[in-house]
Structure formats: C-alpha cells, structure tokens
Amino acid sequence: MSDRSLIAPVIDSFARHADRPAVTDADGRVATYAELDLLSRRFGARFLDAGVKIGDRIGFSRPKSIETVAALIGALRIGASFVPVDHSAPEHRNEHIFEDCRVALRCGEDLLPAEQAGAIEDCPSDPDRLAYILYTSGSTGLPKGVPLTHRNAASFVDWCVRTLEPRVGDVFSSHASFHFDLSVLDLWVPLWTGGSIAITPPDVAQDPRRLPNFIVERGITNWYSVPSILALMVEFGRLEDLAFDRLRTICFAGEVFPLPMLRRLREQLPEVRLLNLYGPTETNVCTWYEVPGRIDANRTEPMPIGTACDHCDVALFDDAGQRVDEVGQVARVLARGAPVMNGYWGRPPEETPSLLTIDGQRWYDTGDLGEWDQVRGGERQIVFRGRRDRMVKRHGYRIELGEVEAGLDRHPDVQESAVWSGEIEGRVVIHAAVVPRDGATLGVIPLKLHCAAALLSWMSPDRFQVMDALPRTSTGKVDYATLRGA
Amino acid sequence: MKTDDIREKVRAFILDEILPGERPENLLDDMPLRTSGLIDSMGTIRMTSYLESTFGISIAAHETGVENFETVDSICQFVAAKMAS
C-alpha cells in the first residue's frame, strides 16, 4: 500500500474499480469510482480557476455529500489541502478558523465544479505536504488547528487497511462530520480499497432508533462512531429485532465506552469484531484494543485503550520524563512517530508545551493519563485514567471548558463565568456558574439561547446557576473545588 | 388523562431535566424548543423515552421531529393524539 500519500491510492482505485460504487449519499444517490474521479477533477479545475496553488488551503463549510467528498479529493489532487468546518457552527468560529489558516478559497455549498475537468494533472506527491487541518477546541476560547501531512494521514490509513482487512465492495459508515477526525478512517479506507462510503443522513445520525435500520438497509460492513451513539443504539435501537448479516466490524473512539453498554453490544452482536481505537486528533489513532468475544463477567471498569499501533510508538512517562513500564502506576500517555503532527498551525513546535524532546526523540503529550494493566491471561494493556487538564469529552467531541467560559462571557449581561463538568447517570454534564453585570438579571432560558448561538451545540452547559460572585481561592483564582461541591 | 395533566407532566420534565433553575413562568407553551437550540437531539431522545413510559404510548422514530416536538403545545397535542388512538 502507501504510507506516503493519502491521494495516490485513491487515484489507483479510480482505475481499478471504475464501475463500483464509491459513495452513497444521504438520500441513496450513488456515485461510482468513475463518476467520483470525474467530479473530483472538475472540482480541481474549479479550484485552479480560482487561483488555488500547490500548498494552499481550501476551507470547506458544507454538508456531507457526494459533491463534498469529490471536492476534498479535488483539493488533494491539485496539491492543496482541505480545512473542513462544521457548517452549522456559529459564523464567528468558522470565520476565525478560515482567517487563522489563511485559506486561499472558501468552498461552500454554492461553489459548483467546473463544467469541464479539462486537462488537470495530478500533482506529484510529497509526503511532507499538508493534507488537511482539523480544528479542535482551544483552552483560551479560540479553536486551534492540527495540521496533518500526507505522511501523517497515510500512515494511519495504511494501518487501518492492515488491521481491518477490508474487502473490495465493503461499505463503510460515514457517521462523523468531516471536521471530526473519525472521518479520516470513514473516507480514506474505503477509497483506498475499492469499498464505498455510506453517508448518514443528518436527521438519522443522531437518532438511535433509526440508525440500526440504516446500517442494515445500506449493507454496512464497517461501522465507526463514538461510543455514545452505540450506547444509545443498544438502549433504544431494538438491535435484537434486526439481522446485521453484513456487519463485520465496529470501531469506536473518542471517549470511554461505559462497560455495561459495551457488554450488551458484545452480547447482541457476538460475531462482530469490536475495536476500541484511541488517539487525539494530534496523533491520529495511536493505540487499539480488540474487545474479546466474551467480556469477563467480573470486570467492572471500562476496556483498556490497548497497546501502540505498529505505525507509531506510545509509552507512559512520569512527570520527571522517566519512562514508566511497571504495572499500576498512573502516568502521562505520550506518542511519537509517523502519524503524529509536527506542531499546531501557526505555532512553532518549540513554543508548544505538549511537544517534548526526550532522549533526542520528539514526543507528543496527549494530556491523558494512563496505567499499564496486566489483563488476566493476556498481554499488558494501557488503561485510560482521565485528564491532567480541563478538557472533557462529550459525544466524542473535545470540549475545553475555557472555550465554554469564553462563549458565556460574550453575553452582554455576563460579568464572568466558571464552567466545570460532572457526571449524572453515566452522562457527562457541564455546569456553569455565571455572575450578572450590575443590575442585570439572567435566566436559564436566555443563557441557553445565547449558548446555542455562541457555541458549538455539544459545548452548551446543561446546568446553570446565577451567583453574586464566584468563589475564589486565597490566590484569587476561581475555586472550582468549591463550585463542584456546591 | 386530562389535557392539563399531560401539560403539567411535559412541563415538569422540561423544567427539571432540560432547564433546571428556570422559573416555571418563564417557560412559555409556544416557545420554540428545538429550532432555538433549547433542546438538543440528546434531550429529545430522553424526552421521547420519558413520554413513552409516563403516558404508556409508543413513539415511532419518524415522529420525533420538529413538527411534533417544537413547543410544549405541540408536544401535548401529539401525546393526546397518541393516547386517543
């Protein structure tokens, strides 16, 4: 296969699988590889007409569709990179992203492909060329860009191909949005291997009662999503009423899968491979764990995140920078190697505290904590033990609580705010304490409405309390411990 | 069950689970809940299962859209129609 170019194997597929389906749209419309090839060249021609050059970035703010997939491919074919954003996100957030990475062109839904593909030629590959930038929540309130090169992305896709062993004609779910890193597997693994991408309709994507039927109707062979969607399907989807004849593999990533729900999924689909994939956007997937056919009845804690994928190195280090190899010590999870980013967009690696040089090698500190665990009768595995900072995950999305506070503080009647997270019945719940400006009154409904407009939907707090002042520690910092206990 | 009882239970769920801390009089029965972002998709899923278990009705997947779940009024009408059928 290829560990150097994300796009070269796709161009091979155009020739080898011309008449096979490549993408099925939300409405059931199918594009073959030949059609996708032509459409992607027409988009490439449009981008060239608009003045896009090799190494330029193109911003994508449009719903998932055959055309959007073709446009992403078109961007790579002419040597540009793509920057996908959530088209339903607040405009100021997307505006910041496109300005931050200085896109040469914005590709919205209204940007049509050129009438003719003309004679566009595929740009020679360069493994160090940028392939895409994915923006994640930033603790200062502004999203930060994670740039990934062809080498970074291709090394991950190549690992997926070796591990998932897809067959020609397989159908991969596209549940995640394209700005979310789970989509990298959804898009490029089938396109490399003659499979097809099944785009989930937006109204079905969040509906656990309709998703199981969608999986069966589309003949999906490989499902990939965050655990919370799978847990909802287990709870509300009546899986026992359906026959998942074609489904061979379910991958999940992005957050911890609560064990009781994973156990039920295992029991309902005993023949399906279940893979727990782990890794922040900065590293792609860097560890994995295959859930056994029977989950130990005595086990109560979540499944391990596993061990390093063979295209990278993952290890635990203590705060002094010493490698931790013994069982039972909680330590930092670090990753290095081909899939790991070189640094955040617009920020020199030496000014990025999460990039560490240890014994001459550059490691990325994920901010996650882990511990080696000796699983009975098996190899040692890393178990996830939480975060060192104020980032939380909801539906697999990263939420920097500082970004939520910055969003609340934009309300004209809010003087200051403090945000923390907790759990109710296994659900992550975000709490907010807000202090109104002098003379202003704040209610829950106006605050929620403000958050719906100012923040991404999954960042909106669930619980609000209005306070006269935030509790402070002796050094004047917000006292989150007191807020949690309140 | 009377219409008023349905309304009381629907409002109680929204006030307790979705908008805790808000004064009941601020939740208007014709206030948009879904299109405004006050209730997200997860909130809708939880409300659907609450309505099913509270009122003994069965709600189909395609019935949980904005047409039935946009306001307290429309939810109450939907539940009443389900119970009558």
Q: ipTM for the complex?
A: 0.92
Percent of chain A at pLDDT > 70 equals: 99
Mean pLDDT, range A263-274, rounded to an integer: 96
By residue range, what is the domain housing residue B62? 3-84
Instruction: Report the pLDDT value the prediction gives residue A171, as an integer from 0 to 100.
Output: 98
- Tell me which residue in B21, B38, B61 faces A464 most closely, judged by beta carbons: B21
- Is the pLDDT at A378 greater than 80? The verdict is no
What phi and psi values does residue A421 have, to the nearest 5 degrees? -120, 155
Mean pLDDT, range A402-418, rounded to an integer: 94
Taking only the tens place, the pLDDT of each residue in A96-126 is 999 999 999 999 999 999 998 887 889 999 9
- Is B76 in contact with B3 (CB distance < 8 Å)? yes
Taking only the tens place, the pLDDT of each residue in A145-179 is 999 999 999 999 999 999 999 999 999 999 999 99
User: Are the Cβ atoms of B19 and A460 closer than 8 angstroms?
Assistant: no
Instruction: Report the pLDDT value the prediction gives residue A485, as an integer from 0 to 100.
Output: 86
* Closest residue of chain A to B48, computed from CA coordinates: A236
* Closest residue of chain A to B41, computed from CA coordinates: A206
Residues on chain A touching B37 (C-beta within 8 angstroms): 448-449, 451-453, 457, 460
- Is A67 in contact with A20 (CB distance < 8 Å)? no
Instruction: Report the pLDDT value the prediction gives residue A78, as an integer from 0 to 100.
Output: 97
Size of interface A-B (CB pairs under 8 A): 54
Lowest mean pLDDT among A258-262, A374-378, A424-428, B25-29: A374-378
Distance from CA of A51 to the nearest CA of B (A): 38
Residues on chain B touching A457 (C-beta within 8 angstroms): 37, 40
Taking only the tens place, the pLDDT of each residue in A432-481 is 999 999 989 999 999 999 999 999 988 999 999 999 999 998 888 899 99
CA A150/CA A190 separation, integer angstroms = 17
* Closest residue of chain A to B62, computed from CA coordinates: A210
Residues on chain A touching B22 (C-beta within 8 angstroms): 443-445
- Is the pLDDT at B3 greater than 50? The verdict is yes
Mean pLDDT, range A338-356, rounded to an integer: 93
Residue A264: count other Cβ atoms within 10 Å of its Cβ.
15
* Closest residue of chain B to A464, computed from CA coordinates: B21
Cα four-point dihedral sign A204, A208, A209, A214 = positive
Instruction: Report the pLDDT value the prediction gives residue A1, as an integer from 0 to 100.
Output: 46
Taking only the tens place, the pLDDT of each residue in A172-213 is 999 999 999 999 999 999 999 999 999 999 989 988 999 999
**Residue of A200, A204, A207, A459 for testing the chain B interface, max B β-carbons within 10 Å:** A207
Which long-range contacts does A123-126 make (Cβ < 8 Å, 24+ apart)?
Answer: A123/A54, A123/A77, A123/A78, A123/A79, A125/A4, A125/A5, A125/A7, A125/A8, A125/A150, A126/A79, A126/A150
Token pair, residue A298, equals: 């005595």
Instruction: Report the pLDDT value the prediction gives residue A379, as an integer from 0 to 100.
Output: 84
User: Are the Cβ atoms of A444 and B65 closer than 8 angstroms?
Assistant: no
Taking only the tens place, the pLDDT of each residue in A277-315 is 999 999 999 999 999 999 989 888 889 999 999 999 999
CA A273/CA A295 separation, integer angstroms = 13
Domains of chain A: 8-385 (3.40.50.12780), 391-485 (3.30.300.30)
**Domains of chain B: total:** 1
Sort strands A361-374 and A380-387 into parallel, antiparallel or unpaired.
antiparallel
Token pair, residue A297, equals: 């009845």
Which domain CATH number covers B32? 1.10.1200.10
Place A3 in a pLDDT band, splitting at 50, 70 and 90. Answer: low
The 3-state DSSP class for residue A291 equals strand
